[in-house]
């Protein structure tokens, strides 16, 4: 599947210099990303175990967990209330990093393709040597 960004580059054919400038801008954004963590922050309802608590009758206490896949298995980590917003930001930073890395890769690929196309175009313009 071709990304929207790759489609844009195929359609408009920017120069290698423009592509390198775009790539450099993305690399600078990568350097600015702060702490990150892989996974998803999920809000769940937990039961405390107290028989007289409202959670024993159905509605649980809100809690947050970070879920991630490690070695093919889903792992969960409890996130304390005072860390929820910070962990949410870390998860978003990870998603932003993945997007930026994909964009840098697409730009690098476009630079390679421009170079190859320019090389092929130059080779076609040369007069073939007559065979003797």
Q: What is the pLDDT of residue 123?
A: 52
The answer to the question of residue 117 being in a domain is yes
- Residue 132 domain-assigned? no
Domain-located, residue 130: no
Is 129 contained in some domain?
no
- 62 within a domain of the structure (yes/no): yes
Q: Which two tokens stand for residue 44?
A: 């769940």
In a domain, residue 85? The reply is: yes
pLDDT beneath 50: ranges in the chain: 1, 7, 9-10
Using DSSP's 3-state secondary structure scheme, residue 63 falls into strand
Tokens standing for residue 122: 């130059």
- pLDDT of res. 132: 59
At 54 the pLDDT is 82
Which domain range does residue 12 map to? 4-123
Whether 131 is covered by a domain: the verdict is no
Among 44, 46, 99, residue whose Cα is nearest residue 67: 44
The residues facing 42 across adjacent strands are 65
Domain count of the chain?
1
Would you state the pLDDT for residue 114?
Answer: 86
Phi, psi at 71, each rounded to 5°: 55, 40
CA-wise closest residue to 67 among 43, 36, 85: 43
Rounded to 5 degrees, what are φ and ψ at 79? -110, 120
Q: Is 50 inside any structural domain? A: yes
61-90 pLDDT, tens per residue? 899 999 999 999 999 999 999 999 999 999
């Amino acid at each position: 599947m071709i990304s929207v960004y790759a489609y844009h580059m195929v359609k408009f054919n920017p120069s290698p210099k423009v592509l390198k400038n775009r790539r450099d801008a993305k690399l600078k954004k990568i350097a600015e990303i702060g702490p990150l963590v892989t996974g998803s922050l999920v809000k769940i309802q937990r039961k405390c175990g107290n028989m007289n608590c409202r959670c024993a009758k159905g509605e649980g206490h809100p809690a947050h967990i970070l879920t991630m896949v490690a070695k093919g298995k889903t792992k969960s980590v409890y996130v304390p209330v005072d860390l929820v917003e910070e962990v949410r930001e870390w998860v978003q930073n990870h998603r932003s990093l993945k997007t930026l890395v994909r964009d840098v890769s697409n730009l690098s690929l476009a630079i390679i393709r421009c170079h190859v196309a320019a090389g092929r175009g130059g080779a076609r313009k040369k007069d073939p040597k007559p065979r003797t």
